[in-house]
Amino acid sequence: MQEVRDTVLRRLLRSVDPAPEVSALVDQIQLDPAFAEANDTDVSRAVLAQALNILLLKDLLDRVPTARLYMQDLSAAGRQLVFDHGALRTVELAGMGSLPSGEAALTRILLPLGYFCNEVYPLDRLGMTGRSYAHADFPETVPQFFLSELHVERFSPAFQAATARITQGSVDPLDDADRARLEALSKAGRLSFADACALLPKMVACFARQHPAPARADYEVVLAESAEMAWIATEGNAFNHATDRVSSVEALAGAQRDMGRPMKETIEVSATGRIRQTAYRADPIVRVFVDAAGRHVEQPTPGSFFEFIQRERVPGSGKLDLSFDSGNAQGIFKMTSAAAS
């Protein structure tokens, strides 16, 4: 049996979350060979970015049963997950408690980690803008982030008021010490192991819901105009989906349907033809709401899901096409609204 090297990535993850599921994920994900180095005494921004993605993937797997089944499929087939990207949703609105508005709540973490905004995608049918963030050091092997921002002013006054009420109690997970560590990371591109261990769980906490349980009446108001805002009302800034990069989306979709998995009926194809995407339908979950009498009540809502993407090389450059497509994204986003119907 091949010896598993105790890399700085493994030590960092073990220090933050010693759960065996986290250690297992390191073996289940195809990592850049550079992360196999075992002699680092501090933590580079790329290793910290990869650790963050692994912990966010674990959170999604804890919430999405079909995603867990898929990971079991990969293990049984002896194949590793090629973690392409995770997707997140934000709200562009001032007055969300102590939380920064829109994508700034998350870019303040992504930029120090070495991510840069690669492209901007209008999602006009959804009243949103999407932006892809790729890693400067390992663009093809460290997962991207697809970060979408909902523009509240594009919706009705009633929607705007309900969204303000839902988000006004948001709390910022970061304190001054966290912000100082992010600034140091941005300047040096590295942190001491102790600082990385302190910062990593606080970064993970930013990818969650930061506001209290919403009023059911407000939820119904936003749901009538935007399934995406309704999803944010219950899930916040958590991973909306994570994505495996596969060699053939068509073959995978057919195999998953044969297994009875809840697949999207169609495959989204980009305008270039180089990007193909499909997904499971979102798993339903039960969330707590506040009713008119102030009581906590439970109600089923759409949760997160798992996606599959096929990327081709860009002719003439040999580089992997890391772009997205506005039409594809808006089609994939329907997975959470479909689960609500």
Span 280-339, pLDDT tens digits: 999 999 999 999 999 999 999 999 999 999 999 999 998 999 999 998 888 888 777 744
Rounded (to 5) percent helix, strand, coil in the chain: 45, 25, 35
Q: How sure is the predictor about 63, in pLDDT bands with cuts at 50, 70 and 90?
A: very high
Domain ranges in the chain?
A: 8-154+170-211+235-284+304-340
Cα separation, 193 vs 11, in Å, equals 9
Neighbours of 61 (CB within 10 A): 21
Give the predicted TM-score (pTM) of the model: 0.95
| From the candidate CATH numbers 3.40.1440.10, 3.90.1150.10, 3.10.180.50, 3.40.50.1370, the one assigned to the domain spanning 8-154+170-211+235-284+304-340 | 3.10.180.50
Give pLDDT tens digits for 66-114.
Answer: 999 999 999 999 999 999 999 999 999 999 999 999 999 999 999 999 9
Cα separation, 137 vs 112, in Å, equals 12
Sign of CA dihedral 127, 284, 298, 54: negative
Q: Reading across the β-sheet that carries 241-245, which strands appear in turn?
A: 115-123, 128-135, 144-151, 83-92, 241-245, 305-311, 275-279, 268-269
Do β-strands 144-151 and 268-269 pair in parallel, antiparallel, or remain unpaired? Answer: unpaired
Question: Could you give the percent of the chain with pLDDT greater than 90?
Answer: 91
Contact 169, 97 (CB under 8 A): yes
Phi and psi torsions of 147, nearest 5°: -110, 115
